[in-house]
Amino acid sequence: MTDSTAGPQPGDNEPNGDLTSGLSAHAAAVGDEEPEQPRHRVIGTPPPAEARTLLKTPPPGAPGGPPVPRQRELPADPDDLVSAKRAERVVVACFLIATLAGLGFIASYLIFQVHSVTNVLHSNLALGSTMGLAFLALAVGAVIWVRRLMPWVERTEARKLLRSSPEDRAAFAETFEEGAEASQFTKRPMVRRTLIAATVPVALAPIVLLRDLGPLPGTSLDHTVWRKGMRLLNYGANTPIRPADFASPGGMVTVVPDGFQDDFNALAKAAVIIIKFPPNIIQFSAKPQPGRVVQNWTVDNIVAYSKICTHVGCPAALYEQTTHHILCPCHQSTFDAARGAQVIFGPATRALPQLPMTVDAQGFLIARHDFIEPVGPSFWERGPS
Amino acid sequence: MLAGLSYAAVTDGSASAAAHSVTGQAQISEGRAIFLQECSSCHGLFAQGTPGVAPGLIGVGAAAVDFQVSTGRMPAKEPVAEQPRKPVSLTPQQIHSLAAYISSLGGGPAIPTSADISQAGANPGLGQQLFVADCAQCHNFVGAGGALTFGKYAPPLTKSTPRQIFEAMLTGPEAMPVFNNTTITPQQKRDIIAYVTQTRAEPNPGGFSLGRVGPVSEGLVAFIGLLLFMVLAALWITAKHGKAHD
């Protein structure tokens, strides 16, 4: 009825905006003819819309002249016929490709027999590529057709009021009340209440099942399996380490707690890297302090840090012996190993926790005790910082 | 690799080291001449190093010299964050003399012998465990390399010879940590080398290998790539014609 792009339409006499007046412009034009409209039409003469215009404003050139071309709602041809011809060729090519690919799919099904793993792979490749090509060519052809050949015209079709008529609404209310009464739902409250009671547990059940998401971690995130006297094992070889063996400055190795080398759940928190520094590089402190290494917790310039990044828990172990940086590969958090593994770049907000170390009677590196703070990323119960 | 193998015979074992001592002084002199010509502009006339430009080489040992020069990293063209592997500019004989000279300045690990890097009886399974624990974080699970900070990177291990891998672990070139023979034993180093070299022989279906870490990365790249393509296609399909609104 309204067409913002194609200009005013000759037969469009319906009042715009009256949503209740008709289903569509077309229906209105056909069913609501005006009195002066000629009743008799011969095939080939202009349609009613054209005719009305003719009667109101006769074109220059007189009655009996050549018929004025019908005003179309949609253009018959694209603006640029040369470009359209090119587009047509592309569309046809796409559809031919789709045809051939579709035939190729059938041929592949017949040709490639599947009696071994390799044959299945070949068959899948042939079937998948031909079918994919067929669909792709079909889709590309259709899209180019729509975009290059079909007209681009915005049309608006008014809808009728969604609300039912007052009579229908009254009738429905009546039927509903009758039904409610006849079903005894309103008259027998015990039936109604027990029905409601019966639905409540069914509705609650899924909520109760959410309990399976637990149990809550409790304090398990606050500590790792490291304990006093537990040896540090060179991970992979799983051998204990003497400081004298780990004596080359610039050395770094991943270590795990003795007894937990195959316990991946434990290692997810307890993995540690130890780093050997040259003398006079580490910034020591007597007590835990940001940007410092606790001197008592080191052995011969060997420092142990949690391998679990404090950002989101990736293994941060890209150690650069020249810069003393520990880089986490996931989000580029960078820690300064010589200065208490404090964050110098990236999204992590806390230093890597230092594992307290000493040596046992046989001279092997052991843990003094567990980390004094939770390792790894933040969690709700950990609190700020 | 051929170069590495050819002079490996020269340096093989302690017996030949003793033999070298006869001609050792001449070799050291030749090495010093090469050093003055090729290296001293950065590392200093006495290999003492230049702060901020090049490290001192006293005590780095023959293995470090052999690694750096046999991979073409040294002599360097220019000071950059990470020296790239490039064609070797010295002959194996010259590298050996240079290594002898640096070694004569004191200390440092020797060039590993053929026995040190023999792959006979190596256990690539244990090598993989060690590689995953201590190497893969930088060099990738299959030795494809990866990025570090400030332009540095861990190079791919696809071209490294067994001797070069051994030397790299022993000496910790550039930013790489040191894995000395008492932390990662020579046998464990051979296991790691076996893993690295055997991984290279795994069949590669071709195309972009994407780190060769398996179908997950390939699937992810394909998924993201196709998603981007479909978004762009949807934008194009629904985009308005320029001239149709005239």
User: How high is the pLDDT of residue A60?
Assistant: 54
Residue type present at position A80:
D
Joined tokens for residue A301: 């310039």
Residue A59 has pLDDT above 70, yes or no: no
Task: Give per-residue pLDDT as tens, A165-187.
Answer: 999 999 999 999 999 999 998 88
B/e letters for B9-28, b = 16+ CB within 10 Å, e = fewer, are: eebeeeeeeeeeeeeeeebb
Calculate mean pLDDT across residues A202-223: 90
Which residues of chain B make contact with A5, given a CB cutoff of 8 A? 245
Question: What is the least distance, in Å, from the CA of B22 to any CA of chain A?
Answer: 31
Residue B150's pLDDT is 87
Question: CB contact, 8 Å: B137 with chain A?
Answer: yes
A74 close to B (CB below 8 A):
no
Which CATH number fits the domain B124-202, given the four candidates 1.10.760.10, 3.40.630.30, 2.40.110.10, 1.10.520.10? 1.10.760.10
The residue with tokens 């095939």 is A43
Residue B244 pLDDT: 46
Asked if A252 and B240 come within 8 Å (Cβ–Cβ), the reply is no
Pairing of strands A239-240, A232-234: antiparallel
Taking the C-alpha atoms of residue B27 and residue A22, their distance in angstroms, rounded to an integer, is 106
A254–B contact, CB cutoff 8 A: yes
| Low-confidence winner among A70-79, A108-117, A189-198, B148-157 (lowest mean pLDDT) | A70-79
Domain locations in chain B as residue ranges: 1-111, 124-202
Report the percentage of chain A scoring pLDDT > 70: 82
Q: Which chain B positions have a beta carbon within 8 Å of A236's beta carbon?
A: 126, 129-134, 188
CB A252 within 8 A of CB A276: yes
Q: Which two tokens mark A327?
A: 């880089």
- Determine the pLDDT at residue B3: 43
Residue A182 pLDDT: 93
A43 close contact with B: CB closer than 8 A: no
Rounded to 5 degrees, what are φ and ψ at B99? -60, -40
pLDDT at residue A54, as a whole number: 52
Quick count: other Cβ atoms within 10 Å of Cβ A96? 12
pTM of the full structure: 0.66
- Whether B149 and A247 lie within 8 Å, measured CB to CB: no
Residue A325: its pLDDT value, please?
94
- Residue B53 vs residue A42, higher pLDDT: B53
A77, A40 contact by CB (below 8 A): no
Amino acid at B56: G
- Chain B residues close to A242, C-beta within 8 Å: 182
- Per CB-CB distance under 8 Å, the chain A contacts of B131 are 236
Helix axis angle, B162-171 relative to B61-70, nearest 10°? Answer: 130
- How many C-beta atoms surround the C-beta of residue A26 within 10 A? 13
Write the residue in B130, B172, B241 that is nearest to A321 by C-beta. B172
The ranges of chain B with pLDDT < 50 are 1-22, 244-246
Helix, strand counts (H, E) of chain A: 7, 13
Q: Is the pLDDT of residue A52 over 70?
A: no
> Are B1-111 and B124-202 the same fold in CATH?
yes
Q: Tell me the chain B residues in contact with residue A153 when contact means C-beta distances shorter than 8 Å.
A: 244
Distance in Å, alpha carbon of A111 to nearest chain B alpha carbon: 24
pLDDT on residue A339: 95
**Cβ contact, residue pair A251, B133, below 8 Å:** no
Quote the Cα angle for A331-A222-A218, to 5°: 115
Token readout for A380 is: 């709700």
Does the CB of A237 have a partner CB in chain B at under 8 Å? yes
Residue of A nearest to B245 (CA): A5
How far does B178 lie from chain A, in Å, by closest CA?
Answer: 4
**Per-residue pLDDT reduced to its tens digit, A64-103:** 666 666 677 788 888 888 999 999 999 999 999 999 999 9
Are residues A329 and B146, on separate chains, in Cβ contact within 8 Å? yes
Q: Looking at residue B13, what is its pLDDT?
A: 41
The greatest distance separating any two alpha carbons of chain B, rounded to the nearest whole angstrom, comes to: 95
Q: Which residues of A touch B176 (CB under 8 A)?
A: 321
**Residue whose pair of structure tokens reads 């520094």 in the numeric block:** A277
Work out the minimum CA distance from A325 to partner chain B, whole angstroms.
Answer: 8
In this complex, which of A241, A251, A345 lies closest to B178 when CB atoms are compared?
Answer: A251
Which residues of B fall within a CB distance of 8 Å from A249?
178
- DSSP conformation letters of chain B: -HHHHHHHTTT-HHHHHHHHHHHHHHHHHHHHHHHHHHTHHHH-TTS--BTTTB---TTSHHHHHHHHHHTT-SS-SS--SSPPP----S-HHHHHHHHHHHHHTS--PPPPPTTTT--TT--HHHHHHHHHHHTHHHH-TTS--EE-STT-EEPPSSS--HHHHHHHHHH--TTPPB--TTTS-HHHHHHHHHHHHHHHTS---SS--GGG--HHHHHHHHHHHHHHHHHHHHHHHHSPPSSTT-
Q: Does A241 touch chain B (CB under 8 A)?
A: yes
Per-residue pLDDT band at A205 (split at 50, 70, 90)? very high
**Residue A42: per-residue pLDDT:** 66
DSSP secondary structure letters along B172-202: --TTPPB--TTTS-HHHHHHHHHHHHHHHTS
The reported pLDDT for the residue numbered A293 is 95
As for the ipTM of the complex, it is 0.78
Q: Is it the case that residue A158 has pLDDT exceeding 90?
A: no
Task: Convert B102-121 to b/e letters by CB count within 10 Å (16 or more is b).
Answer: bbebeebbbbbbeebbeeee
**Which amino acid belongs to residue B87?**
P
Task: For strands A284-285 and A293-294, give the pairing.
Answer: parallel
Q: How confident is the model at residue A14 (pLDDT cuts 50, 70, 90)?
A: very low
Chain B: give the shortest CA distance to residue A155, in Å. Answer: 12
Task: Give the Cα separation of B189 and B194 in Å (integer).
Answer: 9
Lowest mean pLDDT among A34-48, A132-146, B68-82, B146-160: A34-48
Q: Compute the distance between CA of residue B168 and CA of residue B151 in angstroms, rounded to an integer.
A: 20
Q: Which of residues 146-205 of B touch A (CB under 8 A)?
A: 146, 148-150, 152, 154, 172, 174-180, 182-185, 188
Class of domain B1-111: mainly alpha
**CB-based contact (8 Å) between B243 and chain A?**
yes
Q: Please report the pLDDT score of residue A214 as a whole number.
A: 83
d(CA A45, CA B20): 114
B15 contact A CB<8A:
no
Local structure of A13: helix, strand or coil? coil
What is d(CA A273, CA A306) in angstroms, rounded to the nearest whole number?
6
Q: Is A236 an 8 Å CB contact of chain B?
A: yes
Cβ neighbours of residue B120 closer than 8 Å, sequence gap 6 or more: none
CB contact under 8 A, A248 and B245: no
The mean pLDDT value of chain A amounts to: 85
Q: Check residue A152 and give its pLDDT.
A: 81
Residues near A96 by beta carbon (within 8 Å), at least 6 away in sequence: none
**Rounded Cα gap, residues B181 and B169, in angstroms:** 9
| Radius of gyration, CA atoms only, chain B | 23
Give the pLDDT confidence score for residue B200 in this predicted structure. Answer: 84
Closest Cα in chain A to B139: A318
B107 touches chain A (CB under 8 A): no
